[in-house]
Structure formats: C-alpha cells, structure tokens
Amino acid sequence: MNNTVAEYISRVRDLCALDPERKNPVIFIAGPVNSGKSTLVNNLLEQRICPDDASPSTLFPVYFGYSETPSAFKTAGGRAIRLHGRELREIFRNRRRSSLPERADVFLPSGILRWCSLADTPGTGLSGDVDDLVMNCLSRADGIVFLFHQRGIDAAAHSFLTRLAAAGTRGWISFWINANLGLIDGTSLTETGRVLRTIFPGQAEVHAINAKDPHSIGLLSLYLQVRVLESAVRGIEAGLSRRDRLIPSLVERASLVKDDDRFLIKFWEVLDEAGTINAGRQAIRDLPLIRGSIAGMLRANTLSLTAGPAAAAVLHKESRTGPGPGERLASLIGQIRSDRDLARYVDGDLLKKAADRLGEKCRVIVAGPFSTGKTTFLNALLGETLLPAEDRATTSCAVRLGYGPEKLAAVEFLYRAEFYPVNFRDGKLIPDRQEMLAITQILDSPPLRELVSECRVCRDGLYKSVPLSDLGDILDEIFRCCGMDSGLGGHLGKTRRVPLFPRRAAALSPAGPAVTGVSFTLARRDRMVFRLDDDRRRLEFYRVISPPGSYLVDSVTISYPSPNLSLADFIDTPGLDSVHKRHQDRAAGILASADLALVFLHARHVLAGSVPGQAGAVRKPALNTPVIYVINFADTVSETDREKVSLYIRQKLGRDAGSKEIIPYPQVYTISALNALHRGDEGFDRLMRRVRKKTWETEARKVNGAAGEIKAWMEKITGPAGIKNMPERARQAALYYLGEIERLQKTYF
C-alpha cells in the first residue's frame, strides 16, 4: 500500500491550500531516558543535530522548524539569543544545569519540517523536575511519539504516563518500542500493550520500530504524515461546505457574461472550483482506508522486529485426522449417484437437495446498530483493514466474506435503486433529509451519474421517466412543496441542495402533487471484480462500497485466504438503526436466513442504559436462530463495568416480549475488535471458540438431517414393502450404503 499512501499524501497536501491560515502541528518525541529519542529525531531530520550519546544527552527541549537557511536560537531568561557556529553543540555538551537554556530552536531545510515541527524532549525518569518539564511540554503537543526501551514499559514510565493520562493531552499519542539493539521480545510487546490499555483505554496501540533502520524511519514518517493530514482534512471539511455554497452564485455570474471567451474562462474557473471541492470530499472518504493501510504496514514491520510470540494471535483452522462428517456424506452421495446397479432406483431430486445442503456453508450474520465495531470485527477475522470502518454508518448492503485462495471482491449492482424523498402521513408531507441527501450525492458524482440509464419520478402514485439533467430542478420543486429553505436564499430553484432541516422534520401540507419517489435504473448489470492485493484496485473497491456509491450496490462478496473464514461465511449487515429504512429492511431480511447471529453493542452505550430497541428486535426476524450478544469496545471500560454490561444485557435482552421470564439465557461476550485486529484480544478468542462450536453444531444438524433423509429412502427401497423384483446386486448395493450411513451417524451423532 506504500504507493497508494504516498499518492494520497501528495493529493491532500494540495488540498491544504484551502486553509492558508493553518499552521504546522508540533509533534513531540518523548520517552524514558536513553530510549533512543534523539537518534530517532536525527534520522527523521536526515541530519545529526541532537547528541545521541550513551549517557542522557538531551537536558532541555529542542524544537525544529523549517527554513531554507539554517539557524539556531536558545531561550534564556525569557530572551531568545541567536547561536553562531558551534555554540549549539557546546550547549548540548554542557552538563551544568544552572547554565542550561530553557529551550533551543533550530531551523533547517529538512523535508519533514515542511509539514510539521518536531520537538526532542529530555528523557523521563531522571528526576521529578525533568518529568514536570516534559509534562508541561506534552500538554501543548499536537501529537506525541512516545518511545520505550527495548524491554518495554517499566515502573518509571508507567508512573509518568499515568500522570500524563490524568492531566490530559491536547492531541493524539502513539507508542513505540525501539528495536535498535536487535529483535524485541514478543512478550514485552504484548505486556506493554496490556498495561497501556489500562492507562489510555481505546488508544494504546503499540508498534515496534528500529530508530536506526531507514525502512522503519520511512514507515514512521508516512504514519506521521497521515496523522498530520488527517487533522488537515478534518479542518478543511467545513471550508469545503462554505465553498460549495458559493458554486451557484459563480455559475450565475458566469452565465451573465456575454463574451464567449470570457464566459469560457469563468466557466472553467467554476469547474476547477467544483473539482477541488470533490477532491476534498473524496480525500475525506478515502481517509479510513489509508489509515488502515498504514496500520497494516506498521503491524507487518512490528512482526518483523519481534522474536517470540506474536502480538496478535490468529485463529487457525483445527487440524483433522480425517474427513469430517459432511465430507464423508458428500462422498457417499457421489458414490450412490454413480453406482450403476442403483441407477434405475436412485431418487435424483433427494440426493441433489442433500448435496446442495451440504455444499452450503454455515452463515454467521453480524448485526447491530451502526458504529458498534461490526466491520472492525470482520477486519480482525481477515487480519487486516480491508472493509471501510468509520464512526458513521458505512455498510449499506450485505457484505459476504468467504474462504478463497485469492483476495478478490465481487460487487453486484442494483437493477433499480429506489429513493423516497418525502412520505405522506395523514394527508401531510414528511420530508426525509437522508433520502434527499443520497439523491444529491449521486447527482454530484460524475462516475455515479454515468451508471444511471433511466431516471423516473413518482407523482400521485405513478412513475414517469424524466431526463437526469432535470432532476436537480425536481429536487428544488420538492423543497418548495415542503416549504423548506434549500440554504441558497434567493437562488432557490436555480440549483439543487439538501434543505436545511433536521432528520425529523415537522409534517407539512402539500402545495401540489409532490414527488414522493425517485427511481434510478442502472445501465451496468455485470458485476465488478477487484483484486484486493493490488493497491489501486483496492482503493477503487473501497470507493464503490462506501457512500454514496454504496447506495447503488446490491451485494458484495469477498473471497479471502483467511483461516478464520474456514469456519463459516460471515455476512456484514447495515446498522439496524440506520436512518435509511431500506437498510433496516435489508438487515432484517438477511437475519431471517442466518444460522447464527452476532449482535453487536457498544459497551459505553450499554453502560449509559441506551440499549437500542433494534437489538432486542433481532428475535423477531430470527426466531429460530441462535443469537450471541457481543459487547464491543470492552477496552474502554473497566473489568467491573464489563460485568455490569453483561448482567444488564442478560436481564434486558433475555426477556421474552410477553413474559417476565428470562428465556433463553443470552450468551454475552465482551471483546475489543480493534485490539483483536492489531494485537490480539482474549475476549475475541473466546468468542471465536464459541462461534466454532456453534458452527460445528449447525453443520452436524445439517449433515444428520441429510443423512436421515437418505437413510429413510434406503430403508424404504430395501424393506419388505420396497421395490418388487429389485435385482439382488442393486439390493446389496443399497444395503451397503445404508450400513455406511448408519455407521456415519453412530460415529458422529
């Protein structure tokens, strides 16, 4: 993913011009004394500025900023003094604390300093005064790289970080173990992560790095650039909306220009502006994938620098001494169908149905409200960030993951996509902002518009074809019918925009025949196949299955060589509380066909007492489906709170709607899907063991049922009331297969 990440960084840097007042963030390098901080800073700068002796070298904070002309200053007594020649080196060598400056500022023409400022800090653990100084520095940091010794966290670092967590930090913090003395112990990596999760719940990811290795330094530089640009992208998001609102007036001004040449110039300026806005929005949509790509690269680098047990455990397929019951029964069915002596007496339909049933893998449905970590859980199954996982609803169709030798994804498009911008209730219009937003996003995306072959709108219950170019005016008509302001003031009717009203707007009396439905017929009927081990194709896949492109997608099937997928097919579903009703209906329909349902809830939401009603309503579409409640984000709550959450779920969601009796007693597992993805999680492992057992039981029931049907047929044709004048060879063959099926049932069931 290196090329894709680099391309993204280059693209977003150009967008940063949209915020000319933005200042470079300051990233602090901190950690225990002699952990290699100064070596890390020197290699990031690609210049040896900071002393990196064996003894404690940095005794005051040193700030680095960009300048074409190198210069240095020290601050003493609140006054900045310029340093000449070797004076900076002399200051570093000085060990008399009474004459140390308060700080030093160095300006260099270094590439990394073009997009951030770096600060090297004294090592923690020297004295209480030094720890206080570092604590004060880190309180102002936009980002912190905290570097541990090769042995990981110790008592002094634990004490300092506990104080830092209590005081709070303004920006983000990341943790690294320095492997500059050789491979680090996997146990120390795991233990450091475990301790940090108790101090910084939800943000204690630990990576290994070799501060002397160019490859490690390059990965850290990419990581820092993505973190810096992440805040920049979030910062320009509001600016994009402001610039977008100016587009209608720019179009109107261009249309007033009479001279053709000047009109074209103005028109191209508008197109450039619109292109910049779309590029910014695409950068925001691509951010989770880029973040996941960096995480995957850092994880691979960590494993390469680790000796002993790996930080993240992968659930492997259990080894078998021989074929399982399903494989044995399938083999018997094949023998029966090809046996010449039984050819005249074989019930082909029965055997075909039995073979088809055995060929279907167990279906595990992953359901629950949005932003409960369902997609992150599936990424943990794969062992890498493949599916888009954000703090918003991102899954709008079924995503099926199954085992395959290659990393492939197939996307099937809808034949017709239906949207309902307004609904009638008691003779009044109820506008639906989310539906209008979806239509607008499709119209604003040229690649999505090209997929639409026909557009139809519904008035008074009748659909009529309209040109796609007229749909913008029709949306304006909807706004007028609803009496809504599109946010354009006097320009209402000149362009389409989502009206400024909340998700639940008040009912309004219609001013005329309102457009209650919009239908897009898609020209593309062939499925798109993406090779997921190709950087650019993976990015294209991500864009297709993320909103707004996902509004036109019917289903996604992923083939992936992960041992975890040998258990069953896992199916991701839209959030049960999605604001799009069609997504709720899709999720409910998928649940009805499940062999096992994993219902995800957010630990903190449960603690707050806000268990969504949809979670309990899973029982309605899946009455005969086993349900396991999965409490995610368990790393963000204490052990006591985890017990409270489990008890709460058993009490609230285990009760039958018409009874006060708890039936059945719900199965509840607390996990951290994010930890499982990056480092391993005990709760995740327990859950997967339970899933393995459930899928085995499901397979056993399926095999036993098919075997019972074939056995009953065999007994019928070989019994006293069976087929008359049946040749002895055929009867003996049938009895042989009957005996094999009975032995199979006795062995396994």
Average pLDDT over residues 156-174: 89
Exposed, middle or buried, 187 (CB in 10 Å: 0-12/13-18/19+)? middle
**At 226, which helix (H) or strand (E)?**
helix 214-255
pLDDT-derived band at 311, boundaries 50, 70, 90: very low
Percent of the chain topping pLDDT 90: 10
Per CATH, is 361-411+528-684 categorized as 2.60.40.10? no
pLDDT-derived band at 570, boundaries 50, 70, 90: very high
pLDDT of residue 341: 79
> Using one digit for the tens of pLDDT, what is the confidence trace for 67-108?
998 898 988 888 888 888 777 777 777 656 556 788 889 999
Give the Cα separation of 598 and 627 in Å (integer): 6
pLDDT of residue 479: 65
What residues does each domain of the chain span?
23-227, 326-358+693-748, 361-411+528-684, 416-522
Residues 6+ apart with CB under 8 A from 599: 367, 368, 615, 618, 627, 628, 629, 630
Q: List the helix and strand counts (H, then E) for the chain.
A: 22, 26
pLDDT of residue 18: 63
pLDDT-derived band at 309, boundaries 50, 70, 90: very low
681: closest CA among 433, 253, 163, 314? 314
**pLDDT for residue 599 is more than 60:** yes
Give the Cα separation of 318 and 690 in Å (integer): 14
Alpha-carbon distances, residue 483 vs 241, 419, 498, 505, 512 (angstroms) = 23, 20, 13, 11, 11
Residues 6+ apart with CB under 8 A from 345: 717, 723, 726, 730, 734
**Residue 75 CA to its chain's centroid (Å):** 45
Say how many C-beta atoms besides its own lie within 10 A of residue 265's C-beta.
12
Exposed, middle or buried, 671 (CB in 10 Å: 0-12/13-18/19+)? buried
Q: What is the dihedral of CA 474, 478, 481, 485, to 10 degrees?
A: -110
Instruction: List, in sequence order, every residue forming a beta bridge with 104; answer none if it has no partner.
Output: 62, 74
pLDDT of residue 174: 92
584: closest CA among 393, 385, 334? 393
pLDDT of residue 358: 75
Q: Which of 255-264, 523-532, 680-689, 704-713 is least confident? A: 255-264
Give the Cα separation of 314 and 111 in Å (integer): 39
Average pLDDT over residues 245-254: 73
Average pLDDT of the chain, as a whole number: 77
* SS3 assignment, position 48: coil
> Using one digit for the tens of pLDDT, what is the confidence trace for 423-456?
766 667 777 777 887 888 888 777 788 888 899 9
Instruction: List, in sequence order, every residue forming a beta bridge with 529; answer none if it has no partner.
Output: 410
Residue whose token pair is 């297969």: 737
**At 184, which helix (H) or strand (E)?**
strand 184-185
Residue-by-residue DSSP string for 242-295? HHHHHHHHHHHHHHT--SHHHHHHHHHHHHHHHHHHHHHHHHHHHHHHHHHHHH
C-beta pairs of 435-440 under 8 Å, 24+ apart in sequence: 435/580, 436/475, 436/478, 436/498, 436/499, 437/498, 438/547, 438/548, 438/551, 438/580, 439/471, 439/475, 439/518, 440/475, 440/496, 440/497, 440/498
70: closest CA among 47, 51, 102, 39? 47
Average pLDDT over residues 123-133: 87
**pLDDT for residue 619 is more than 60:** no
Q: Which pTM value belongs to this model? A: 0.63
Give the Cα separation of 400 and 595 in Å (integer): 14
**Tokens standing for residue 618:** 């899973």
492 and 414 Cβ atoms separated by less than 8 Å: no
Range from 136-150, 395-409, 465-479, 532-546 that averages highest in pLDDT: 136-150
pLDDT-derived band at 493, boundaries 50, 70, 90: very low
Topology agreement, domain 23-227 and domain 361-411+528-684? yes
28: closest CA among 142, 108, 112? 142
Could you give phi then psi for residue 74, rounded to 5 degrees?
Answer: -120, 150
CATH superfamily of 23-227: P-loop containing nucleotide triphosphate hydrolases (3.40.50.300)
pLDDT of residue 592: 63
pLDDT of residue 532: 85
**Tokens standing for residue 441:** 């996003």
Give the Cα separation of 27 and 12 in Å (integer): 19
Give the Cα separation of 734 and 714 in Å (integer): 6
Sheet of 452-459: strand order equals 416-419, 515-522, 452-459, 462-466
Average pLDDT over residues 710-727: 79
pLDDT of residue 483: 52
Give the Cα separation of 401 and 568 in Å (integer): 9
pLDDT-derived band at 20, boundaries 50, 70, 90: low
Exposed, middle or buried, 282 (CB in 10 Å: 0-12/13-18/19+)? middle
Residue-by-residue DSSP string for 646-663? HHHHHHHTSB-TT-SSB-
Give the Cα separation of 415 and 50 in Å (integer): 63
Alpha-carbon distances, residue 236 vs 14, 16, 280 (angstroms) = 12, 7, 8
Alpha-carbon distances, residue 199 vs 33, 129, 161, 670, 673 (angstroms) = 20, 22, 7, 19, 18
The b-or-e profile of 501-525 (16+ CB within 10 A means b, else e) is beeebeebeeeeebbbbbbbebebe
Name the E strands within 589-666. Answer: 596-602, 627-632
Instruction: List, in sequence order, every residue forming a beta bridge with 429; answer none if it has no partner.
Output: 424, 508
pLDDT of residue 606: 82
Higher per-residue confidence, 498 vs 668: 668
Residues 6+ apart with CB under 8 A from 747: 325
Q: Which of 20-24, 465-469, 590-594 is least confident? A: 590-594
> Using one digit for the tens of pLDDT, what is the confidence trace for 733-747?
888 888 888 888 888
85 and 77 Cβ atoms separated by less than 8 Å: no
Give the Cα separation of 468 and 456 in Å (integer): 9
Sheet of 79-82: strand order equals 79-82, 71-76, 103-108, 62-66, 117-120, 26-30, 143-148, 172-178, 206-209
Residues 6+ apart with CB under 8 A from 459: 513, 514, 515, 516
